């Protein structure tokens, strides 16, 4: 009776949901399967063995259907076969309590078996039907494996300029480049510039002098003490805790990569405390607490990095002859003496520059830097995070350059004030709502250029009142002359971005191999898992890019770009277009729910436009693809390694009147309450001063279980050979040990491929160190094969990029285990160092 009740409880929604799915044009499986469960339950109530036979037929049909639709993929079979197999065991346990059916089968039984058999034949025939196969899955011929899109070629455009709107079939081949390159200032013969360029002598190796190793951001170390053969001997040698932990459910997620120069390691905490440690022992020299208020936290409390600078014009005994510079959540830039931790008296106002100057009044946390400045020559280039989805009247995305010695403003690039490079006139502010750079720039001091990965305009999912300048520079790589702040060149990776596809990764500067020899280049990863590679001096593309037709419609059909750019001759990590068969869950009920939601949504592949009358599927979602972790390069072997995400979002625009009825307010409203919705992590954001708010289901989660609607893997890691432009390996990244239904860790050490945030570091010994995944493991990977050679469990999430250096005769690897509230990993305040045992380190010298 118990088994019968369970089957009836599951069978009824399968029948109802299956009928609903069929009415939407979806799979026929669930209706007959649910019917089979109900019939099995009926005959179990009657205690007749016919129940077993009916379920055996149902189970056999399920296996046939599951194998046809998903093959032998084990993760795909979890919702299809695990629960039915458990039910099979339960049904078989009832055999001792069942009596044989009468020799003459009654009319009811006959009808029941016929109904079940007919249904199973129905979905089995669908399984071999060409029409059904095309409806359920995209065939190999239909799927373009190079670009993730089967849209036809329209134009090869190496400027990044969007084609004219309203004409999808013809694009003018004579469309001019958006801008001609501006020659950067060389400052030849200027002793001050020549002197500060000595900073660039600092290279990654013994030291790790910048966030990405150097400001070229290769995340590469030439150290070789730790090898593939001995990496398994790594042990923790010290641990430092900052003490910064949430006190009242504030969003925390420190993502710090320390810098190391000489015998000292410099780090910053979630709330912007700066600490100097002994690089060999972890002993604390000093800590400076800027006393950042908790209400200044924006997206989350994080300090990704800081800047180290040696002033070659100063005497070594002078205060701040060497300094570290950091940004705080409440928009201060602070310079500290590396020896004492004292504020630099000649920098700004007694060591502090107010970054709110020219921004105007803003709510706490709205304009909240989380990434470090980038030092190019003697200029600190500064951007800032601006909270998404709040209001069109958001703080400006202005980019500013400050003198690293004095803290004086050298220039400001405000795209809404072309030709004006200083502070706004009194009573005015920098242009509100323009695209910002919340992530980290990279720089080339020899060329005098800084490379900025730009976001999109304030409010991500509607652009009806964006200016021409905003449409030109949003989601673009912009190279600025660091001496003047003028645009040298730019390349746009998404035209008219209404998907929050801002460029999150730091561009990596390499000598890129071409048929004509190595070319100084920048590799810019994107959230669509494409890699745009350009000559970093001129902005000329070094890979082929095709403009392909993009989906149209939505609420702004007249403004959408008819095409979007796709890299065609360099590997991308775009996964095939989603189909109904890709829906997932813990049980058939989860999967059925997700299939229904898939059929209800608007989805035409990448760049499906936002809709208000029904949800739309955004795939990849706004976490990528490749996000702020960027890529790492082994320059000796020309191998690039990138971790990436592979998850959709399930979004819907919400009319303004509904937003107001729900009381969803922007952060600038005096009655704003983040707990009521509309915060940086809220599922609904107001997008004030536009016709629509936005509801975002990030990762597209299933109600109740909290699992994702698309099947694993949700994250991967891949290596690409820059010489041959071939993928060397591509593997799921992250185990299931800290993931499971209802948030319960499964502790399964199986590589499922989890969401991940943070990058990795490559060493000359062929190792790649990375945390990032939600399994709280820090691991070393073989660069050539992708095999995991070592891992260790961290005390909190490792959503930070590690670094490595040499101190005390040992190669040391350090990671910040700070956790991440949005990634739902444990929050911590740890910096942990690993090295070989002393005797092993000596032997490997």
User: Catalytic amino acids?
Assistant: 500
50: number of Cβ within 10 Å:
22
Task: Give the list of residues 6+ apart from residue 202 with CB closer than 8 angstroms, or none.
Answer: 209, 214, 261, 308, 310
- The conformational region for residue 496 under phi > 0 = left, psi -120 to 50 = alpha, else beta, is left
Phi, psi of 142 (to 5 degrees): -80, -25
843: number of Cβ within 10 Å:
11
Contact 584, 710 (CB under 8 A): yes
The helix/strand/coil state of 334 is: strand
Beta pairing partners, 480: 450, 487
Contact 323, 406 (CB under 8 A): no
Strand order in the sheet with 235-241: 235-241, 830-835, 810-817, 803-807
234: number of Cβ within 10 Å:
23
Contact 694, 685 (CB under 8 A): yes
DSSP secondary structure letter of residue 99? B
Q: Which of 620, 600, 710, 703 is nearest to 79 (CA)?
A: 710
Contact 341, 408 (CB under 8 A): no
Q: Which of 764, 758, 836 is nearest to 802 (CA)?
A: 758
Per-residue tokens: 318:
């002078």
Q: How many residues comprise the chain?
A: 845
Sign of the CA dihedral running 804, 805, 809, 814: negative
Task: Give the list of residues 6+ apart from residue 781 with CB closer than 8 angstroms, or none.
Answer: 641, 717, 760, 767, 768, 769, 770, 787, 788, 789
d(CA 814, CA 253): 17
How many CA within 13 A on the CB side of residue 671?
Answer: 5
d(CA 287, CA 278): 12
- Please report the DSSP string for 439-473 in residue order: S--EEETTTTEEEEE----SSSS--TT--HHHHHH
d(CA 669, CA 686): 11
DSSP secondary structure letter of residue 578? P
């Amino acid at each position: 009776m118990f088994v019968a009740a369970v089957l009836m409880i599951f069978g009824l929604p399968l029948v109802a949901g299956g009928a609903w799915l069929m009415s939407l044009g979806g799979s026929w499986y669930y209706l007959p399967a649910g019917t089979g469960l109900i019939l099995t339950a009926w005959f179990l109530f009657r205690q007749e063995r016919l129940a077993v036979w009916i379920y055996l037929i149902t189970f056999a049909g399920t296996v046939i259907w599951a194998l046809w639709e998903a093959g032998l993929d084990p993760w795909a079979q979890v919702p299809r076969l695990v629960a039915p197999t458990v039910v099979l065991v339960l049904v078989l346990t009832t055999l001792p309590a069942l009596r044989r059916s009468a020799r003459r089968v009654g009319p009811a039984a006959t009808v029941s078996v016929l109904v079940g058999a007919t249904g199973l034949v129905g979905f089995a025939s669908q399984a071999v039907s060409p029409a059904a196969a095309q409806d359920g899955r995209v065939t190999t011929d239909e799927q373009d494996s190079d670009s993730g899109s089967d849209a036809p070629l329209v134009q090869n455009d190496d400027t990044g300029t969007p084609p004219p709107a309203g004409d999808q079939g013809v694009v003018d081949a004579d469309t001019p480049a958006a801008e001609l390159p501006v020659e950067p200032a060389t400052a030849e013969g200027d002793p001050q510039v020549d002197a500060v360029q000595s900073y660039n002598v600092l290279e990654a190796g013994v030291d790790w002098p910048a966030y990405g190793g150097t400001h070229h951001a290769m995340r590469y170390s030439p150290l070789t003490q730790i090898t593939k053969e001995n990496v398994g001997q790594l042990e923790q040698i010290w641990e430092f805790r900052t003490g910064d932990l949430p006190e009242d459910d504030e969003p925390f997620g420190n993502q710090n990569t320390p810098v190391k120069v000489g015998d000292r390691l410099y780090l910053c905490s979630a709330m912007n405390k700066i600490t100097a440690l002994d690089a060999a022992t972890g002993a604390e020299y000093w800590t400076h607490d800027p006393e950042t208020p908790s209400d200044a936290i924006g997206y989350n409390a994080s300090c990704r990095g800081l800047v180290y600078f040696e002033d070659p014009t100063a005497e070594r005994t002078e205060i701040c002859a060497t300094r570290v510079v950091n940004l705080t959540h409440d928009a201060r830039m602070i310079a500290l003496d590396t020896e004492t931790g004292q504020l630099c008296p000649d920098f700004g106002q007694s060591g502090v520059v107010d970054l709110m100057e020219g921004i105007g009044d803003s709510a706490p946390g709205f304009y909240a830097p989380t990434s470090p400045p980038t030092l190019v020559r003697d200029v600190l280039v500064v951007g800032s995070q601006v909270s998404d989805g709040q209001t069109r009247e958001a703080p400006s995305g202005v980019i500013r350059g400050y003198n690293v010695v004095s803290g004086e403003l050298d220039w400001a690039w405000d795209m809404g004030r072309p030709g004006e490079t200083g502070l706004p006139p009194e009573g005015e502010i920098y242009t509100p709502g323009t695209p910002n750079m919340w992530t980290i720039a990279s720089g080339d001091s020899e060329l005098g250029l800084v490379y900025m990965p730009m976001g999109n305009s304030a409010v991500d999912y509607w652009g009806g009142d964006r200016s021409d300048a905003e449409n030109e520079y949003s989601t673009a790589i912009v190279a600025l002359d660091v001496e003047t702040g003028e645009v040298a060149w730019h390349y746009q990776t998404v035209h008219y971005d209404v998907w929050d596809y801002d460029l999150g990764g730091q561009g990596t500067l390499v000598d890129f191999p071409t048929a004509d020899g190595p070319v100084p280049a920048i590799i810019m990863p994107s959230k669509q898992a494409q890699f745009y590679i350009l000559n970093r001096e001129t902005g000329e593309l070094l890979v082929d890019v095709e403009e392909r037709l993009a989906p149209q419609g939505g609420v702004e059909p007249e403004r959408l770009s008819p095409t979007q750019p796709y890299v065609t001759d360099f590997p991308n990590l775009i996964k095939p277009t989603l189909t109904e068969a890709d829906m997932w869950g813990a049980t058939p009920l989860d999967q059925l729910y997700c299939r229904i939601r898939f059929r209800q949504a608007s989805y035409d592949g990448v760049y499906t436009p936002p809709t208000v009358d029904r949800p739309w599927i955004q795939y990849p979602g706004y976490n990528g693809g490749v996000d702020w972790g960027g890529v790492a390069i082994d320059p000796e072997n020309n191998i690039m390694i990138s971790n990436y995400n592979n998850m959709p979002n399930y979004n819907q625009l919400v009319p303004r009147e509904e937003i107001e009825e729900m009381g969803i307010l922007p952060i600038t409203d005096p009655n704003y309450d983040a707990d009521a919705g509309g915060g940086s992590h809220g599922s609904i954001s107001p997008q004030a001063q536009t016709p629509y708010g936005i509801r975002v289901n990030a990762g597209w989660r299933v109600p109740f279980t909290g699992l994702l609607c698309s099947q694993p893997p949700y994250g991967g890691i891949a290596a690409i050979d820059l010489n041959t432009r071939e993928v060397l390996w591509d593997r799921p990244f992250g185990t299931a040990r800290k993931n499971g239904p209802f948030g319960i860790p499964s502790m399964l050490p199986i590589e499922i491929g989890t969401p991940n945030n943070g990058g990795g570091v490559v060493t000359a010994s062929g190792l790649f160190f990375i945390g990032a995944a939600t399994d709280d493991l820090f691991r070393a990977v073989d660069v050539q094969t992708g095999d995991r050679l070592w891992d260790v469990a961290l005390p909190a999430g490792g959503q930070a990029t590690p670094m490595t250096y040499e101190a005390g005769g040992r190669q040391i690897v350090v990671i910040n285990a700070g956790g991440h509230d949005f990634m739902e990993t444990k929050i911590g305040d740890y910096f942990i160092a690993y090295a070989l045992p002393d005797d092993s380190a000596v032997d490997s010298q």
